[in-house]
């Protein structure tokens, strides 16, 4: 390709880059409201009929925005501080009003008691929909590469292929 002229992006490519920025902002707003312990503001980022799944160790499938708000309000009473660092935000559009995404999560947790700090390295696997109020999260599944001191298990794995056997985990 000639190095002297920029290819003109299509109208759809421009629309997608604007939507991508809005979706990334939505994913970051989730982290911000989580770390400030604002369950209502956090739940408002999801659709009314959202489905969220942090894994069996955190209660399994959560149905709907109201249940999500209660879960966030109740789930971690002993937490003193968290910091959810979200990166690697990838978005795939199914069309102008629906997209899927993967975003990496490095989450740090400090507890009010003597427990050691806990760390989780994982990925959010999301589905986004465009509503009349903007993009919202319709589905979110947390997948986990590893964790330290979180205190419970039964996470959804990220699905790393096993080197020796050439097979992926069944959950993938």
Binding site for a second copy (CB under 8 A): 1-9, 11-18, 20-21, 25, 28-29, 31-32, 35-38, 73, 77, 79, 81-90, 94-98, 102, 104, 106, 108, 110, 117, 121-122, 130-132, 145-146, 148, 158-164, 168
Of 97 and 154, nearer to a second copy (C-beta) is 97
Of 63 and 96, nearer to a second copy (C-beta) is 96
Of 60 and 146, nearer to a second copy (C-beta) is 146
Which residues does 116 contact at the CB level (< 8 Å), separation at least 6?
149
Contact (Cβ atoms closer than 8 angstroms) between residue 160 and residue 145: yes
Contact (Cβ atoms closer than 8 angstroms) between residue 30 and residue 126: no
- Residue 27 DSSP class: H
Least spacing, CB of residue 59 vs a second copy, in Å: 17
d(CA 105, CA 150) in angstroms, rounded, equals: 14
Of 63 and 131, nearer to a second copy (C-beta) is 131
Q: Write out the H or E segment, with its range, that includes residue 76.
A: none
């Amino acid at each position: 390709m000639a190095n002297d002229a920029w290819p003109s992006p299509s109208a759809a490519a421009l629309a997608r880059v604007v939507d991508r920025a809005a979706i990334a902002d939505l994913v970051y707003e989730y982290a911000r409201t989580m770390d400030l312990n604002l369950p209502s503001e956090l739940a408002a980022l999801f659709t009314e009929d959202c489905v969220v799944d942090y894994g069996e160790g955190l209660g399994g499938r959560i149905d709907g925005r109201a249940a999500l708000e209660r879960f966030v309000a109740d789930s971690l009473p002993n937490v003193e501080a968290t910091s959810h660092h979200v990166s690697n935000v990838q978005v795939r559009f199914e069309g102008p009003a629906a997209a899927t995404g993967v975003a990496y999560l490095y989450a740090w947790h400090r507890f009010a008691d003597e427990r050691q700090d806990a760390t989780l390295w994982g990925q959010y696997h999301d589905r986004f929909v465009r509503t009349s109020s903007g993009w919202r999260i319709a589905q979110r599944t947390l997948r986990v590469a590893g964790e330290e001191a979180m205190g419970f298990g039964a996470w959804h794995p990220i699905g790393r292929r096993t080197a020796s056997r050439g097979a992926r985990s069944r959950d993938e």
